[in-house]
Amino acid sequence: MEKSTNKNTSLFSLDGNPSLKVALPMSLQHLLAMIVGNVLPALVLSGAIGLDANQRIQLVQASMFIAAIGTFLQSFPIFRIGSGLPVIIGVSFAYIPTILAIGGEYGIGAIFGAQIFGGLTAFAVGIFIKKIRKYFPPMVAGTVVFTIGLSLYRVAVNYMAGGFQSTDPRYGGLIYWGIAVLTLVVVLLCNMFGKGYVKLAAILIGIIVGYIASLMANIVSFDSIQTASWFNLPKIMPYKFEFPPAAIATMMVMFAVNAVQAVGDFSGTTVGGLDREPTDEELSNGIKANGVLSIIGSFIGALPTATYSQNVGIVAMTKVVSLKVFRLTSLFILAAGFVPKFGAFMTSIPQCVIGGATISVFAQITMTGMKLIVQDEMSVRNTTIVGLGIALGMGITQIPAEGLQYLPEWFRMVFASSPVVLATVVVFVLNLILPNKTLAEEEAERKAIENK
């Protein structure tokens, strides 16, 4: 019998093995979508608590190392640690308010000490997620994904205006907005009218065009590239661990909530890219991996990690799920960790370009959440739960700080720093305590009232 030599080279299959020239553009756009966000938490923390230049570089490089390890582990599970799904891991924005509060109050050593307990908490949630998953139907997971998308709009639009550099006198200038809109238009044109790999690499093409326009406008800074070294290794325990009880408790709550939030990201990935819900095993192993990663991160000075929602959006938009693409991305991230100049070049891309390229991705995340929500019946009960979760989650982050001044600091630290956290808690609790009524039962109740 003739042995078949056919191989699966599809980009749209988990075990697809596309050629390097086909996989490379897909990997690069995932890299470009995550790299700025991956280093921003380190930059924000170092500026807020006054770390020196060497500590700042260490935090940035550790962020790259942990992201590379995490992305590879999720795509190539080891001992049931890792989901086996096409996700990108990076340092999470969601923890920024918490780590700033802990760092300002107790110092950076307390962040990494508390992070160990947070990682253990996430690992425990991963172990029991099979038993508690029934409490997270598509309506609940979809609300989490939907809120993630909404919460990222402000980030994208701020990027389009020039970023968060309040000291930049050109912030909000027409040059930033013009390049951001140009980038967005190129992404849309490639995505809607392009064919083949032009369509799939729409975000990468948009970033390249935006970068060229930025060079012509002279808004690209090469200072970080010139000062960055060529090679760097991670340091083991660069900070002495401290374990304040308040910091530990806060971090454990944050990790538990974000472990639940990961259900939304994994669901967004599988629904958007594979047209199915994630299995119990995928969720369990993926959440456990995030816990392990954060523990490892504590020992090399890397901040807490999570799945990256912008990359979930890319998966949903392109349907590219080949794990080879994501393993290749992890190698690029690792290269940025070993070679600071590589990472410096990537971060030289102006934030207005990143904003223009990713706002459509964030919109895709929101719509993926909506697709999940409507998988359940849109009864009065369910629409109430979803509406209240989104309203309270988004609302609490949009009121002045004085509106929360009498609430405990730990409450503000956990529930008022991110709309996703409160929205997750609200929809989870309401789904447990409100009586479950179908559309048919609600219609029967209305008819019974009419007949009285």
pLDDT tens-place string over residues 307-317 = 887 788 788 87
Residue 78: strand, helix, or coil: strand
Q: What letter represents residue 117's amino acid? A: F
Confidence of residue 288 (pLDDT cuts 50, 70, 90): very high
Average pLDDT over residues 333-362: 79
What's the CA gap between 362 and 369, in Å, rounded? 11
- What pTM does this model have? 0.71
User: Of all helices (H) and strands (E), which one includes residue 98?
Assistant: helix 96-106
- Asked whether residue 8 is domain-assigned, the answer is no
Average pLDDT over residues 391-405: 85
Q: What letter represents residue 439's amino acid? A: L
Residue 386: strand, helix, or coil: helix
- Asked whether residue 358 is domain-assigned, the answer is yes
Kindly state the percentage of the chain with pLDDT values over 90.
20
Q: Which residues contact 178 (CB under 8 A, 6 or more apart)?
A: none
Per-residue confidence (pLDDT) for residue 166, from 0 to 100: 53
Average pLDDT over residues 224-236: 77
Average pLDDT over residues 421-426: 83
Average pLDDT over residues 391-413: 82
Per-residue confidence (pLDDT) for residue 73, from 0 to 100: 93
- Asked whether residue 9 is domain-assigned, the answer is no
What's the CA gap between 107 and 48, in Å, rounded? 11
What's the CA gap between 204 and 317, in Å, rounded? 13
Token pair of 136 as six digits: 């997270």
- 83: β partners: none
- Asked whether residue 288 is domain-assigned, the answer is yes
pLDDT digits (tens, 9 = 90+) for 83-142: 889 999 998 866 776 787 788 778 889 999 999 999 999 999 999 888 887 787 888 878
Backbone angles phi, psi at 236, to 5 degrees: -90, 130
- Asked whether residue 153 is domain-assigned, the answer is yes
Confidence of residue 325 (pLDDT cuts 50, 70, 90): very high
Q: With 80 as the cut, is the pLDDT of residue 183 above it? A: yes
Confidence of residue 48 (pLDDT cuts 50, 70, 90): low
CB atoms under 10 Å from CB of 271, counted, come to 24
What's the CA gap between 157 and 354, in Å, rounded? 10
Of 113 and 155, more confident: 113
- Asked whether residue 2 is domain-assigned, the answer is no
Q: With 70 as the cut, is the pLDDT of residue 347 above it? A: no
Q: With 60 as the cut, is the pLDDT of residue 5 above it? A: no
Range of the domain at 351: 20-396+406-450
Q: Measure the CA angle with vertex 295, ends 335 and 343; round to 5°.
A: 20
Distances (CA, A) of 158 to 35, 51, 177, 219, 352: 17, 25, 10, 16, 8
Task: Look at phi and psi of residue 196 and say left if phi exceeds 0, alpha if psi is from -120 to 50, else beta.
Answer: left
What's the CA gap between 147 and 155, in Å, rounded? 13
- 95: β partners: none
DSSP string, 411-438: HHHHHSS-HHHHHHHHHHHHHHHS----
Per-residue confidence (pLDDT) for residue 68, from 0 to 100: 94
Q: With 60 as the cut, is the pLDDT of residue 2 above it? A: no
- Asked whether residue 3 is domain-assigned, the answer is no
Kindly state the percentage of the chain with pLDDT values over 70.
92
Classify residue 93 by its DSSP letter: G
- 78: β partners: 81
User: In the chain, what is the greatest distance between 2 CA atoms, to the nearest angstrom?
Assistant: 81
Confidence of residue 290 (pLDDT cuts 50, 70, 90): very high
What's the CA gap between 188 and 182, in Å, rounded? 10
CB atoms under 10 Å from CB of 277, counted, come to 18
Of 354 and 347, more confident: 354
Q: Which residues contact 386 (CB under 8 A, 6 or more apart)?
A: 139, 142, 143, 146, 373, 427
Confidence of residue 346 (pLDDT cuts 50, 70, 90): low
User: Of all helices (H) and strands (E), which one includes residue 283?
Assistant: helix 280-300
Average pLDDT over residues 359-363: 80
Check if the beta carbon of residue 316 is closer than 8 Å to that of residue 100.
no
Check if the beta carbon of residue 368 is closer than 8 Å to that of residue 318.
no
Per-residue confidence (pLDDT) for residue 72, from 0 to 100: 93
- Asked whether residue 331 is domain-assigned, the answer is yes
Tell me what the pLDDT averaged over the chain comes to: 83
Check if the beta carbon of residue 344 is closer than 8 Å to that of residue 225.
yes
Number of domains in the chain: 1
